[in-house]
Amino acid sequence: MKISVMGIGYVGAVSCGCLASFGHKVVGVDVVPDKVAMLARGQSPIVEDEIDRLIAEGVGQGRLRAMTSIADAVAATDVSFISVGTPSGPDGGVSLRAVDEVTVSIGRELRGKPGMHTVVMRSTVPPGTAEDRVIPMLEQASGKRHGEGFRYLSNPEFLREGSSVRDFHSPPYTLIGAAPGDNGDVLREIYADVEGAVHVAPYRVTEAVKYLANAYHAVKLAFANEGGAILASLGVDARAAFRLFCEDRALNISPAYLTPGFAFGGSCLPKDIRSLLALADQANIAAPFLNQVLPSNHAIIEQTFEAIAAHGRQTVALFGLAFKQGTDDLRESPFVILAERLLGRGYDLRIFDRSVQVARLMGSNRAYIEREIPHLERLLFPEPAATLEGAGLVVLGHIGPADRPALLRALRGRKVLDLIGLAEVRDHPGISYQGLCW
Which residues are known to be catalytic? 268
Handedness of CA 15, 175, 168, 123 (dihedral sign): positive
* Spatial distance between the Cα atoms of 112 and 148, rounded to a whole number of angstroms: 14
Q: For the range 193-196, what are the long-range contacts, defined as Cβ-Cβ under 8 Å and sequence gap of 24 or more?
A: 193/22, 193/169, 194/168, 194/169, 194/170, 195/170, 196/170, 196/171, 196/172
Cα 174 → chain centroid: 19
Pair 417, 409: CB distance under 8 Å: no
Q: How many CB atoms lie within 10 A of CB 334?
A: 23
Handedness of CA 107, 109, 110, 116 (dihedral sign): negative
- Choose among 435, 393, 397: nearest CA to 413: 393
Amino acid at 121: M
* Spatial distance between the Cα atoms of 254 and 183, rounded to a whole number of angstroms: 30
3 state DSSP class of 88: strand
- Choose among 68, 53, 96, 62: nearest CA to 6: 68
